[in-house]
Amino acid sequence: MGIGLPVPVVTIGLLIASNVFMTFAWYGHLRFKTAPLLIVIAVSWFIALFEYILQVPANRIGHGHFSAAQLKTIQEVISLSVFAIFSWLYLGEKLTWQHGMGFSLICLGAWFIFHDFS
């Protein structure tokens, strides 16, 4: 790969970083409800640009080592993990047992995506 790190490490690292940007782009404005909507949209698009700068290479680097379905599954699990931390720390929202149970079921689904039962 050129930088000496294994493909899964690079792929997952880029996906984590991209999801941090995307979470702030989509939900960061919720603490600034008095800001004009057009400003919020413009700032969100600017932040989302960095998400794309990281997401596209992550998928390109990871594809082949991972299937497209596996890449999407990794991205969704990371997205929910980043969002849970974000909503708790940044938005001050409480995480409940229902969140934990729902997330566990999603992780169970991810487990099935990564296992070949044939």
pLDDT of the residue at 51: 95
Is 91 part of any domain? yes
CA angle, corner 81, sides to 32 and 34, nearest 5?
5
Query: pTM score, two decimals?
Result: 0.87
What's the pLDDT tens digit per position in 46-57?
A: 999 999 999 999
Is 102 part of any domain? yes
Is 2 part of any domain? no
Domain of residue 43 covers 7-114
φ/ψ region of 115 (left if φ > 0, alpha if ψ in -120 to 50, else beta) reads: beta
68-89 and 7-27 are packed helices; what angle lies between their axes, rounded to 10 degrees? 50
Is 60 part of any domain? yes
How many domains are contained in the chain?
Answer: 1
User: Quick one: pLDDT band at residue 3, thresholds 50, 70, 90?
Assistant: low
